[in-house]
Amino acid sequence: MALPRQDDDFPAWYQEVVKQAELAEPSLARGTMVIRPYGFAIWEAIQRAVDDRIKATGHQNLYFPMFIPYRLLEREAEHVEGFAPEVAVVTHAGGEELAEPLVVRPTSETIIWDTYARWVQSYRDLPLLYNQWANVVRWELRPRLFLRTTEFLWQEGHTAHETADEAVEESLKILHHVYREAYEEVMAIPVHAGRKSPSERFPGAVETYTLEALMRDRKALQGCTSHYLGQNFAKAYGVSFLNRQGEQELAYATSWGLSTRAVGGVIMTHGDDAGLRLPPALAPVQVVIVPIFRTDDERGRVLEASRRLADELEGLRVRIDDRDDLRPGFKFNHWELRGVPVRIELGPRDLDAERATLVPRLTGEKEEVPLPKLGDRVREALDRSQRGLFEDARAFRDQHTFRPNDLVEMKTLLREPGGFMLTGWCGSEECEAKVKEETKATIRYLPVEPSPPEGPCIVCGKSAVDEASWALAY
């Protein structure tokens, strides 16, 4: 079945491409999903990119239980207020009602900082640089596959430090050297690094940093967050240490997470009307060879040549689509929909002429390549695809970044063509709320370091304290 066109109905396009490419499907419990093998392989590649960088920056993995006694959640006031309405609660286990209900973690600051209280005594025990890969649950009323699901998979880093400066530095290091690299170099998604406004901060954070990307429907997606938590959790859970001056001091915290939502970002950044377009660094299948034949004799020759070719492409993720009951045209669509970066068509006439046809998903342009040169050309095409997808996405984002002069213009631009709106902002919650009310746009990010722009606040006209980037968002 043909996909809906993105311009006609982007949500329908998204839903269909996730379904037809067999990435994921809804499951029985409200808002949960099955991540199918093709979708999970994309997630595994993202995981590897993130995990490698987490370890390269000196962090270790560990694992905390997913059940958190309810009373723990209650200790940090903002945190409980933020998460209590979303949690799932276990009240019965082992055939009995529990004396105390258990919350299924919506995030793990509470149980981790309660434990850190036992691990930290002196500055010598610091920093703690830990991360876990885990499932978390936040009850969602309007779930969407990958983007917003009741249960999702993520990593959550939780670090403890001697000083505020060191903790802030950590949260920015993660933002730039772990997340931004994974997004830009592996997922080929250009991102803006920034700071959230107070109303968009993580419950309990002093500062929330974010990476924001622009999807093909001109809505923004928050790609991850990295929080500087100050001493809030250390205070709530009693994590103090003997500092270098011989005094007791509360530890400084960060936390940071990137989730399966990133898979949704890959789909919505690169996909087109024919389906997915996957960056080679992520693609479960980088090269598909489609053998073309009519007779049994041709079949034998072409399949043998396909296998030789696959051997020559060693080190790449190559699939030969040797299904006998399907026509080449069907197979082309099948792999196009699944976003495989390079297709190779190989038929008897190609073999006679010692060539093959190479078709990059990025351009769709067919090229006949002599067999001896095919290996090099495939690798070049993959490199070009990785860079090309990034460049396409960056150009698209830059074309959809505007500096409206007033709220009316901003409203118009948000409706058509949509994108990031850069304006001055006075810093007041009232002005922020007014924009949201009138346009549905929210502040996606402020500059990492506050830097007042020249113009006034787009709402009240008072002098601006920050340049805000607004957008409609997922």
Torsion angle defined by CA atoms of residues 232, 234, 237 and 243, in that order, rounded to the nearest 10 degrees: -150
The 272-301 site mask, x for binding a copy of itself (CB under 8 A), equals ------------------------------
Shortest Å, Cβ 472 to a copy of itself: 25
Q: Site for a copy of itself (CB under 8 A): which residue of 15, 57, 153, 409? A: 153
Torsion angle defined by CA atoms of residues 149, 152, 157 and 160, in that order, rounded to the nearest 10 degrees: 70
Q: Site for a copy of itself (CB under 8 A): which residue of 104, 239, 289, 413? A: 104
CA angle 156, 162, 165 (to 5 degrees): 80
From the list 187, 184, 135, 147, the residue with the least C-alpha distance to 18 is 147
Task: Please state, in angstroms and rounded to a whole number, the distance separating the CA atoms of residues 249 and 243.
Answer: 6
Q: Site for a copy of itself (CB under 8 A): which residue of 4, 6, 16, 36? A: 36
Q: Which is nearer to a copy of itself, 91 or 352 (CB)?
A: 91
Q: Site for a copy of itself (CB under 8 A): which residue of 10, 14, 130, 241? A: 130
Task: Please state, in angstroms and rounded to a whole number, the distance separating the CA atoms of residues 468 and 453.
Answer: 9
Q: Tell me: does residue 91 bind a copy of itself (CB under 8 A).
A: yes
Q: Site for a copy of itself (CB under 8 A): which residue of 141, 294, 314, 365? A: 141
- Contacts of a copy of itself in 440-469 (CB under 8 A): none
Task: Please state, in angstroms and rounded to a whole number, the distance separating the CA atoms of residues 35 and 107.
Answer: 21
Q: Which is nearer to a copy of itself, 44 or 391 (CB)?
A: 44
- Contacts of a copy of itself in 53-82 (CB under 8 A): 60-69, 72
Which burial class, exposed, middle or buried, applies to 454 when counting CB atoms under 10 A from its CB (0-12, 13-18, 19+)?
exposed
Shortest Å, Cβ 78 to a copy of itself: 18
Torsion angle defined by CA atoms of residues 123, 127, 133 and 135, in that order, rounded to the nearest 10 degrees: 50
Q: Which is nearer to a copy of itself, 288 or 464 (CB)?
A: 288
Shortest Å, Cβ 255 to a copy of itself: 16
- Between the two ends of the chain, the Cα-to-Cα distance in Å is 27
Q: Tell me: does residue 94 bind a copy of itself (CB under 8 A).
A: yes
From the list 4, 256, 240, 2, the residue with the least C-alpha distance to 109 is 256
Shortest Å, Cβ 253 to a copy of itself: 17
DSSP assignments along 207-248, one per residue: EEEEEEEE-TTS-EEEEEEEEEEETHHHHHHT-EEE-TTS-E
Identify which range of 98-106, 190-198, 210-218, 405-413 contacts a copy of itself by CB under 8 A: 98-106
- Residues that bind a copy of itself (rule: CB under 8 A) add up to a total of 56
Q: Tell me: does residue 124 bind a copy of itself (CB under 8 A).
A: yes
Identify which range of 146-154, 163-171, 223-231, 432-440 contacts a copy of itself by CB under 8 A: 146-154
**What are the helix (H) ranges across 359-428?**
371-399, 407-415
Name the DSSP letter for residue 5. P
Shortest Å, Cβ 215 to a copy of itself: 23
Identify which range of 26-34, 166-174, 195-203, 210-218 contacts a copy of itself by CB under 8 A: 26-34
Q: Site for a copy of itself (CB under 8 A): which residue of 2, 12, 93, 408? A: 93
For residue 274, give every residue at least 6 positions away whose Cβ sits within 8 Å of its Cβ, in sequence order, or none.
Answer: 3, 333, 336, 337
Q: Tell me: does residue 27 bind a copy of itself (CB under 8 A).
A: yes
Q: Site for a copy of itself (CB under 8 A): which residue of 2, 5, 77, 135? A: 135
Q: Tell me: does residue 340 bind a copy of itself (CB under 8 A).
A: no
For residue 270, give every residue at least 6 positions away whose Cβ sits within 8 Å of its Cβ, in sequence order, or none.
Answer: 188, 189, 276, 277, 278, 279, 339, 389, 392, 393
Q: Tell me: does residue 41 bind a copy of itself (CB under 8 A).
A: yes
Angle at which helices 261-270 and 10-20 cross, to 10°: 110
Q: Which is nearer to a copy of itself, 113 or 445 (CB)?
A: 113
Q: Which is nearer to a copy of itself, 93 or 433 (CB)?
A: 93
Q: Tell me: does residue 102 bind a copy of itself (CB under 8 A).
A: yes
Look up residue 368 and give its amino acid.
Answer: E
Task: Please state, in angstroms and rounded to a whole number, the distance separating the CA atoms of residues 86 and 68.
Answer: 14
Reduced to 3 states (helix: H, G, I; strand: E, B; else coil), residue 280 is: coil
User: Are the C-beta atoms of 110 and 62 separated by less than 8 Å?
Assistant: no
Q: Site for a copy of itself (CB under 8 A): which residue of 150, 226, 306, 385? A: 150
* Cross-strand partners of 467: 424
Shortest Å, Cβ 231 to a copy of itself: 22
Q: Tell me: does residue 87 bind a copy of itself (CB under 8 A).
A: yes
Shortest Å, Cβ 324 to a copy of itself: 11
Identify which range of 147-155, 312-320, 331-339, 406-414 contacts a copy of itself by CB under 8 A: 147-155
Q: Which residues bind a copy of itself (CB under 8 A)?
A: 25, 27-30, 32-37, 39-41, 43-44, 60-69, 72, 84-95, 101-102, 104, 111, 114-115, 124, 130, 134-135, 137, 139, 141, 150-151, 153, 325
